[in-house]
Amino acid sequence: MDSPEISEAGFIKNSGGATWYTSSLHGDKYSQSFTKSTSDLNVDVTAYVQDMLGGSRPNDGFLIKRPVLEESGSTKYGSSKFFSNDTHTIYVPTLEAKWDDSSFATGSLTELTADDITLYMKNLKTEYKELSRAKLRVVGRETYPQRSFTNSAPYNQIKYLPTTTYYQVRDVETNLVLIPFDTTYTKVSCDSNGNFFDFRFNTLQPERFYQFEFRVDRTGNQQYFDGFIFKVVR
């Protein structure tokens, strides 16, 4: 690869056609190796985007290419196909921006420590506008709580889920996970009223059905909960 400040024009095998940079201004370079032909391309492009946002380089998009030796050699490596931004499927290229906006302040609530628990969403609507944003409440309780003299309605008692509770989003029709469980970026938060997470629905394609899924991690055990379906509309 050339130095960070030098750009290359065209391919070695097929000359002409484009100009691109081979790294960020600070020399950052990213690549991905594939073990299966059906693997998705998922590359960290943080440094490139920072160059664009800082005005150091224009936003001309990204070029996907094989290493020079593979493109100029005689060995056949097969072909890789990617959907464009104009595709009429859900497989449009996506630039993911990740950040941790979680918070955990339990107030006077007590932790849900039972092994057999039920989880449900308290305020999930059937439809959301594409540009909407919502604070979604997640409630966990014992599946078979015991009544006592001090608590005659144990099903209504709010307890908080552990800090190791995460969500993901799945496309219902294709069964494709669009936002996977992430122990940093999809954590479920908590305040004095219980567990919640904030969600921006413009991260999803409109006029499709999706479902939220949850994972609760405890020592040596992971519990999964799904079936919370909603639709994003224009």
Taking the C-alpha atoms of residue 72 and residue 11, their distance in angstroms, rounded to an integer, is 8
Residue range(s) defining the domain that contains residue 54: 1-82
- Is 55 found in the same domain as 169? no
In-domain check, residue 119: yes
- Is 118 found in the same domain as 47? no
Q: Lowest-pLDDT range, 4-13, 101-110, 170-179?
A: 4-13
- Is 69 found in the same domain as 31? yes
- Is 117 found in the same domain as 75? no
In the chain, which residue ranges form alpha helices assigned H by DSSP? Answer: 46-53, 68-72
- As a dihedral over the C-alpha atoms of residue 141, residue 178, residue 218, residue 121, rounded to 10 degrees, the angle is -10
- 13: confidence class by pLDDT, cuts 50, 70, 90: very low
The CATH number of the domain holding residue 177 is 2.60.40.2550
> Nearest to residue 203, comparing CAs of 99, 134, 130?
130
The reported pTM is 0.81
Question: Which pLDDT score is estimated for 12?
Answer: 40
Residues 131-162: tens digit of each pLDDT: 999 999 999 999 887 765 555 556 678 899 99
CB 71, CB 156: distance < 8 Å: no
Question: What order of strands is seen across the sheet that includes strand 208-218?
Answer: 127-129, 221-233, 208-218, 165-171, 177-179
